Amino acid sequence: MTRPIDSFDAVLFDLDGVLTPTAEIHRAAWKRTFDDFLRSRTGNDFDPFTIDDYLRYVDGKPRYDGVRSFLESRGISLPEGDPDDDPAFDTIAAVGNAKNAAFTDVLDEGGVDPYPGSIRLLDHLEARGTAVAVVSSSANADAVLEAAGLRARFDVLIDGVVARERRLDGKPAPDTYLAGASDLGVGAADAVVVEDAISGVQAGTAGGFGLVVGVDREGTARQMRAAGADVVVEDLVELLP
């Protein structure tokens, strides 16, 4: 029988699609970037980037891994490049940097509000004294948390910047979640992972976390369970006792 969330010492949240609807912003930024990239190679006669592409090759992964994965699916190979490459289309890093710039533009255009159900769960956990952290592949996690008014709620943030500094492998490897649990001072078995991406569910499962919760906002419940999710919900309010 699955233990209730209140029986754990800590909860580690993915950000995009779990606490905030920024998965939609990321998807829009990826589409803008990849469609521009494909158009630059073949003109207007190209197969555009789709939602299925996002879920299969990009969702939940570190940015450059997502670029590499999608381009490989289209039979395209680019040199890796360097993280400081100008946003362009001649290296993996450059395409990733172009996506980052597109994300910032889309976020500035529309802002972001957290999911009400996620706020209710955070309020509940705070009242109980449960430790919480954000573990995100995004290098923009800090800015998104600030924009959503959530940054002060989390003393521990493991994001794409921290992962690069600590040389942590990204999801589906468990390294970033294990680092988040360690920074909170808890073991994986005493902590919960809450994820909306298949790669994140795989990371929580691989890390031996006591409870892995999948958040199904894209109709991926079956795939989440197959990846190891113990519980799948459509909104975090469902986790309240």
3 state SS of 125: helix
Structure letter (DSSP) for residue 214: E
- Alpha helix locations (H) across 19-91? 22-42, 51-53, 63-73
Q: Tokens 């802002």 correspond to what residue?
A: 111
d(CA 39, CA 64): 20
Strands 231-233, 211-215: parallel, antiparallel or unpaired by DSSP? parallel
Give the containing element (helix H, strand E) for 132.
Answer: strand 131-135
Task: State yes or no: is 53 an active-site residue.
Answer: no
Q: Which residues face 211 on adjacent strands?
A: 192
Catalytic residue among 16, 59, 159, 196: 16
Catalytic residue among 6, 9, 14, 45: 14
Task: State yes or no: is 14 an active-site residue.
Answer: yes
d(CA 161, CA 142): 10
Q: How is residue 47 written in tokens? A: 């197969």
Residues marked as catalytic: 14, 16
